[in-house]
Amino acid sequence: MKRNVIGALLSALVFPGTGQFYLHRRGRGWLLLLIAAGAAIVYADFAVDQATALADQVLAGSVPLDPAAISARLEAAPTPLPETVAGIVFAACWIGGIVEALLVRER
């Protein structure tokens, strides 16, 4: 299997930037890795905050312990702009890492 295909698979299946490290493109690897990790942290932070708030509402009794009610409450909650941007940035890093690894010419 060609090295660039392996690099693309690493970027696709492990984490954005790992394929660039495999292809000895350390600068691009660090760039993709750090940006994607930052976006993932922002996204995960929002998810934990939302889960904590919902758990507090269930424990307080304002939301019944019913999967349909919990799902409806989650769907009704507005999605903040930072979370949306973090998701888009992560997806762009993920796709960009795959494409960039595929476009590398072998030496």
Q: Can you give the pLDDT at residue 107?
A: 60
Query: 5-63 pLDDT, tens per residue?
Result: 999 999 999 999 999 999 999 999 999 999 999 999 999 999 999 999 999 999 999 88
Residue 1 pLDDT grade (very low, low, confident, very high; cuts 50, 70, 90): confident
What is the CB neighbour count within 10 angstroms for residue 46? 17
pTM: 0.83
Look at residue 23 in the predicted model and tell me its pLDDT: 93
Query: What letter would DSSP give residue 96?
Result: H
User: Which amino acid is present at 2?
Assistant: K
The Cα-based distances of 43 to 50, 83, 85, 96 in angstroms read 11, 5, 9, 19
